[in-house]
Chains A and B, each alone.
Chain A
Amino acid sequence: MKILKIFIILFISIGFSHLKSNEKNNELKSKILKNIRCLICQGQSVYDSESEFAFSIKLIVDQKINEGLEEDQIYEFLKEKYGDWVIYDPELNKNTFILWLLPLLLFLSGGAIMIKKLRFKN
Chain B
Amino acid sequence: MKNNFNLFIIIIFLIFCFIIFYKGLNNPNTYKPKISNKKDIPIFKAKDFNSNVYLDSEKIFEENTFYIVNIWASWCVPCRIEHPLLMELNKNKLVKLIGLNYRDNLNNAKKFINEFGNPYSQIIIDNNGTLSVEFGAYGVPETFIIDKNKKIIRKIIGPINKEIVEEIKLIIK
Contacts and interface: CB of A to CB of B under 8 A. Distances in A.
Interface string A79-98: 00111011000000000000
B144 to A, nearest CB: 12
Given A39-B31, A39-B33, A82 B138 contact: yes
Given A39-B138, A40-B138, A56 B33 contact: no
Interface stretch (B44-52, B112-120, B126-134): B126-134
B34 interface: yes
A60 B130 contact: yes
B139 interface: yes
B35 interface: yes
B132 A56 contact: yes
Interface of B: 31, 33-35, 103, 128-130, 132-136, 138-140
Contacts of A40: 138-139
B31 A57 contact: no
Interface string A56-93: 11011001000000000000000001110110000000
A81 B133 contact: yes
A44 B135 CA distance: 22
Contact of A53 (B34, B128, B135, B138): B138
Contacts of B132: 56
Contact of A60 (B33, B34, B133): B133
Contacts, number: 40
Nearest to B103: A52
Given A55-B129, A81-B133, 4 more contacts: A56-B130, A59-B128, A63-B130, A85-B31
A81 B128 contact: no
Query: Which 4 A/B pairs are nearest by Cβ-Cβ distance?
Result: A56-B129, A81-B136, A83-B33, A39-B138
Nearest to B30: A40
B128 A85 contact: no
A63 B133 CA distance: 12
Contacts of A59: 128-130
Contacts of B140: 52
Contacts of B128: 55-56, 59
A52 B139 CA distance: 8
A105 to B, nearest CB: 13
Interface in A19-77: 39-40, 52-53, 55-57, 59-60, 63
Contacts of B35: 83
Contact of A82 (B33, B103, B129, B130): B33
A55 B33 CA distance: 19
A47 to B, nearest CB: 16
Contacts of A39: 31, 33, 138
Contacts of B33: 39, 82-83, 85-86
